[in-house]
Structure 1
Amino acid sequence: MSQAADPVKVVKQEVGKAAADRVRSHSIVGLGTGSTTAYAVQFIGDRLKRGELEDVVGIPTSFQAEVLAKQYGIPLATLDAVERIDVAIDGADEVDPQKNLIKGGGAAHTREKVVDAAAESFVVVVDSGKLVSRLGESFLLPVEVIPMALAPVTRAIANLGGTAELRMGVKKAGPVITDQGNLVLDVKFDQIADPGELERALNNIPGVLENGLFVGVADIVLVGEIVDGQPRVREF
């Protein structure tokens, strides 16, 4: 497909490549989940194959990331086996002006938060359509819940002003199941005035494993966009 026919794909490729170019030899890299991060994983693999990089180990945040890393020849390890993560590369569903994020469109936000928060540098890769003035403008907030707590968690979220809907599978009967075997509630808030406070309040509900607010975690945001018909990557 030509660039003109699919500019979004080209932008995702360019921002993924820009993130992959930041990876150095002898480093441990958190590998995020999603379509843009998938290009970063591909380009890291390409650099290893060409000999531009050596001794790079990936920490996957999901089964998808694990499969892609193996496909592109990136050696993998677990958090138990490493003492540090040098850089994590991951996407986002929304980014606000303070570099706070909503993540979890792929239902991998719990593992992503563990890896991204542990990294010395967390690089976010997005296209310009993910930039918002306030979190929650265009994307529902994912909350991972253990199955037996679904009803009380839904009520507790309502008390916080949120409307929760169980995420259902596509091409699958029944709800989405996370890599941890849990359920995902997609929550609509009329406004998220204080993302940090809401993140803490949601995570204090018994039965909630993690939510998709990433507050104060992102270090660098790389934004892909089309300028004068050409793809461009800028640091946000």
Structure 2
Amino acid sequence: MLDAHIVEAGYEASAGTIRNITIQVQPGELVGLIGPNGAGKSTSIKTLLGQMQYANYHVHIGGNSRYAYIPEHPVHYDYLTLWEHLDLAAAVYELEYESFRQRAEALLRRFGMWDVRHDLPGSFSKGMRQKMMLLVGFIAEPDMYIVDEPFIGLDPRATKDFLILLEEERSRGAGVLMSTHVLDTAERICDRFILISGGAAVASGTLADIRQASGKPEAALFECFDILT
């Protein structure tokens, strides 16, 4: 569903921040992109999205070639209501209106945002804004999700709803690349991992592969992370 190789990318010419990173996601697979702060996770995601001016890379998205990006920090238009944000996303994806309306209503009720659908996001809490990003990302049912630190600001119920919805999307064949620092959750839900440190991939594969790379065959992901980074 996603096949990408980053030869080098950075914020200045001839000054690569990340290098030689391969990212592949199969249909229905959840791949965790993990690493310490400043390791290059966000730069890798920006490169995949074509946001880096200085980058040597290639990326291919399979399926319907439609992807959704859910950013770490919520972004919104101050003058658009929550419903109007969803409507705008539907227009960008060229969704049929009745299908959009039904899915939007279901998502709003699922995440407890129905009563504020006509409110401006400037009045929302941080957690509500994060849920708005999830709603916008899930509205189009793309074949590929790129998600950056989705758990920040979410309460336990919203986190549960997000994980259930993510599993539903994977069951229909959607792939997911997710950057996160919540390693206990990542260990439980991810099929494979790409561990980045110092701008390069230091280990990748299943949890068993990561354990082998760390020399700790019975270790938790957190301990492997500590050893490898």
- TM-score under structure 1 normalisation? 0.26
Instruction: Select the structure with the greater relative contact order (CA < 8 A; seq sep ≥ 6).
Output: 2
Structure with a larger share of its residues in helix: 2
